[in-house]
Amino acid sequence: MRRDDFYTTGAASMRAVVFSRYGDESVLELTEGPEPTPADGEILVEVKAAGVNPVDWKHREGAVRSDRPFPLGMGWDVAGVVRGTVPGGPEVGEAVYGMLPLPYGGAYQDLCVLPASAVAPKPARLSYPEAAAVPLAALTAWQALEAAGATAGQRVLVHAGAGGVGHFAVQFARHLETHVTATASARNLEFLRGLGVHEPSDRATADLAAAEPFDIVLDTVGGPVQHASWRLLRPGGTLITLPEPVDDAHRLPHITARRVIVTPDGEALRRIGALIDSGAVHVEVQSVLPLRMAAEAHRMSKEGGVRGKLVLGL
């Protein structure tokens, strides 16, 4: 889509946050553009809320790129109401939540398109903003624990347990009946305890190397945290990295290490939704901002101190 096409003022237009060059928050623009047209297998969703993830500002900065021309849409997490569907897809009028496939964003807008297979019914006990907080972060946590083969009785360490991915990971790990340790800053240790973490660990002061070795470490931070994680694992243990590829320079024998890249999965979201509706999993939303404050949401996310999730309400 060319920029001129985007600004065509047709009868059917919608608000959308887009950007036309890579850069800081100031490149985000709230514009009017044409409604998207679903491709084969895709549904059209009226977006009630869009979740904010670190990948959003990484995409805006150009660290995560797509091959589509500018202007590019923004965001991957949505909760909303189905306005157009496909055979076998959800009903028109149904409340759903889901994750758009990477790398093409397009959630910070009144209407979005995504594969029917990427959505599930919105958990009944969640508001739209709470539901929009779930898909990408919860699927990442789910797929990371699945990749690690987490099973009851194992010792699991989750770094940044109070963050978007972390707060889901600790609760899923708890649900799998593993023994959960999680790092956080001091102000978040009580929050972690409330999520069922057995050993909340102050990331500024804790000496994790002195702890009993872990079977699984989820690295949600990267850099020195990934490097230190190898030596926290028992021989045969598994390191899962999320922000960065595995750094082979620090690789240790007898440790399995791999990076997980999240993929949309409506069926997993259905199962996650059941856990949420049963009360087993809590969704923490730090703030809901209006769409016009997308740039502020990016600034807050990049600053790194968000507990749970940030969401844009439409």
Ligand X SMILES: NC(=O)c1ccc[n+]([C@@H]2O[C@H](COP(=O)([O-])OP(=O)(O)OC[C@H]3O[C@@H](n4cnc5c(N)ncnc54)[C@H](OP(=O)(O)O)[C@@H]3O)[C@@H](O)[C@H]2O)c1
Q: Provide the binding-site residues for ligand X, judged by CB under 6 A.
A: 53-55, 137, 140, 159-160, 162-166, 184-185, 188, 203, 220-221, 225, 242-243, 260-262, 301, 304-307
Q: How far is the CB of 140 from ligand X (least distance, A)?
A: 4
Which C-beta is closer to ligand X: that of 19 or that of 142?
Answer: 142
298, 56 in Cβ contact below 8 A? yes
Q: How far is the CB of 182 from ligand X (least distance, A)?
A: 9
Which C-beta is closer to ligand X: that of 13 or that of 185?
Answer: 185
Residue 86 to residues 51, 93, 224, Cα–Cα distance (Å): 24, 13, 46
β-strands 28-34, 77-84: how paired? unpaired
Which C-beta is closer to ligand X: that of 48 or that of 298?
Answer: 298
Q: How far is the CB of 74 from ligand X (least distance, A)?
A: 15
Which C-beta is closer to ligand X: that of 225 or that of 312?
Answer: 225
| Dihedral angle computed from the Cα positions of residues 209, 219, 120 and 15, in that order, rounded to the nearest 10 degrees | 140
β-strands 233-241, 256-259: how paired? parallel
Q: How far is the CB of 155 from ligand X (least distance, A)?
A: 19
Quickly list DSSP for 16-68.
EEEESSS-SGGGEEEEEEEPP---TTEEEEEEEEEEE-HHHHHHHHTSS--SS
Q: How far is the CB of 254 from ligand X (least distance, A)?
A: 24
Which C-beta is closer to ligand X: that of 111 or that of 240?
Answer: 240
> Which residues, 6 or more positions from 64, have their beta carbon under 8 angstroms from its beta carbon?
55, 58, 102, 103
Q: How far is the CB of 248 from ligand X (least distance, A)?
A: 17
Question: In terms of DSSP H, where are the helices of the chain?
Answer: 3-6, 54-61, 128-132, 135-148, 164-175, 189-194, 224-229, 266-277, 294-303
Phi-psi region of 254 (alpha: psi -120 to 50; beta: other; left: phi over 0): left
Which C-beta is closer to ligand X: that of 119 or that of 189?
Answer: 189
C-alpha span between 148 and 127 (Å, rounded): 31
C-alpha span between 135 and 97 (Å, rounded): 7
Q: How far is the CB of 210 from ligand X (least distance, A)?
A: 19
Which C-beta is closer to ligand X: that of 122 or that of 307?
Answer: 307
Taking CB atoms, the residue at the shortest distance from ligand X is 163
Q: Which residue type occupies 169? A: A
Residue with tokens 């850099």: 223
Q: How far is the CB of 168 from ligand X (least distance, A)?
A: 9
Which C-beta is closer to ligand X: that of 117 or that of 301?
Answer: 301
Which C-beta is closer to ligand X: that of 44 or that of 306?
Answer: 306
The helix/strand/coil state of 174 is helix
Q: How far is the CB of 163 from ligand X (least distance, A)?
A: 3
